[in-house]
Amino acid sequence: MTFYPFHKDLRALADSNSFSSGNFGLWYNQLIPNIGQADKDAWCSCDNKNNKDKRSEFYKNIYDKIQKNKNIETLLVKKHCLQMHYMNCMEQQDFHCLTFTGILKSPMITGLGETHPTETSIVLDHTLGIPYIPASGIKGLIRFSHSKQLLFDDNGDFTDKFVEKGSLNETDKDTHIPLFFGGTIKDKIHKITDTLRGSIFFLDAYSVNTPQIKADIINPHYSDYYGDKNKPPGDYQDPLPVKFLTIAPGAQFVFRFMLDSKSAKHKVQLSTAVKNALEQEGFGAKTATGYGRFKISEGIPAILETHFNKYFGDQLTDKAKKEREINKFIERVNKLEKADISIVASGMVESLFAEWRNFKNDDDKKFMADHIGIANAFEAKIKKEKRGGFTKYYEIICKIIGNQPKGEPKPISPPISEKQLNSKIIGKLQNIIKRGFCLKKEKKKILKKHKKNYPDLCSNIKRLPEKISKTL
């Protein structure tokens, strides 16, 4: 008879086949049916029909039913949104963020060796009850991949550049191991030792959708040889199948990393380590036999971007939503190369400029049409002069900013209006935010003078790091 080693009220749930609801992690790790062993004074785990050989299939069937629960999908999307929101906040603090999407090409095993009544285990998120990849495991794998790269040159040939006494010298600062992952740096020349904290932050990796799991099997033929009996291997020994759960191929996982200003300089090196680790080394157990391999691409699936925009938009005021749209458009402009619009008729700059001017006819985006911050961004990207005068694009920008094109006589202008003054102040504050830092005296003066009239902009300036720049 099956015995459930938990409270009688929970036993009633189990007997009523309610294993198909709730948190799968709770069922799998805590609420486990047991059966007595006749030849031993002990119990062992089993399925709900007293069969200990089908417990992996039993839990797979439970997971398959729970997987259909839409609430899990909703919570999984929220988990991604929270991670993306956190990364956005860290970007405002001068961190560089990298995101990769990995499609699982072969089964993946996580937590196989952890203690569990079924003898094999699987790592499950505590709150969602679904498989995930812990950040600690990702960090260890990326560190291994990066260290392995250091032993080969650009042609793939072995190099002993960082080898000392037959092993990799991880204390050499040029390896970037202490910088990326934390550790000790030793300077042989100056005999200086310093301990660094890792400058890369690793986040847990979650699947885009609830991943599928499948039952797999290890079939050791010489169990007496590997076990305590230590008998010589031979065909007279019977195979002893060991069943376990794996994450099925096809699952999409999102890997997220945050680099501080020091490690961001070496992001290409990190990106290479990530791709090599997940595509060539593999994550989890049994990677030597092909388990845990991914196909990696940079970025995230469009569906997650859509979910995040909705999640983020629901938390913003109308004013904040407009500011976010403006900043996103300015970011698009800043990524463009400077172009000669008068010659390149279908260039990217002209195309984006035309999109901006069309905002006048779009009720949802009219607030961006003559925005001074966008005009300032375009000013550095377009050609100003043509034969006989200025380009029409430059004249439009000057009109919005309120500047007179260089080379033209500046007419006597009437006293500046309050509206023009506000536009200039807003433009100045937005340029400081875009710059990404603020001097201590400058910040104090701005907050004292403009905090009352421009609280949102001043709030952003208050959070800026205090730096000294040669460009000021």
pLDDT tens digit string along 342-351? 444 347 888 8
What DSSP string runs through 319-340? HHHHHHHHHHHHHHHHTSPP--
pLDDT for 388 equals 58
Query: For the chain, what are the domain ranges?
Result: 8-67, 70-303, 317-462
pLDDT for 272 equals 94
pLDDT for 457 equals 83
CA distance 97 to 201: 9
Task: Specify the DSSP class assigned to residue 280.
Answer: I
Helices of type H across 358-454: 372-379, 392-401, 418-435, 440-450
CA distance 445 to 268: 39
pLDDT for 218 equals 79
Name the residue among 413, 392, 299 with its Cα closest to residue 350.
Answer: 392
pLDDT for 227 equals 67
pLDDT for 419 equals 54
CA distance 51 to 243: 13
Strand ranges (E), 173-288? 183-187, 192-196, 200-202, 206-207, 213-218, 242-247, 252-259
CA distance 398 to 395: 5
pLDDT tens digit string along 277-335? 999 999 999 999 999 999 999 999 999 999 998 888 787 788 888 888 888 888 888 87
pLDDT for 306 equals 92
CA distance 256 to 87: 9
pLDDT for 189 equals 66
Please check whether residue 291 is in contact with residue 109, taking contact to mean a CB–CB distance below 8 angstroms: yes
Residues whose CB is less than 8 angstroms from the CB of residue 273 and which lie 6 or more positions away in sequence, other chains included: 142, 145, 146, 149
Name the residue among 1, 4, 23 with its Cα closest to residue 12.
Answer: 4
The owner of tokens 């039952």 is 215
pLDDT for 33 equals 80
Low-confidence spans in the chain with pLDDT less than 70: 1-6, 10-21, 37-41, 188-192, 227-229, 337-346, 386-389, 404-421, 467-472
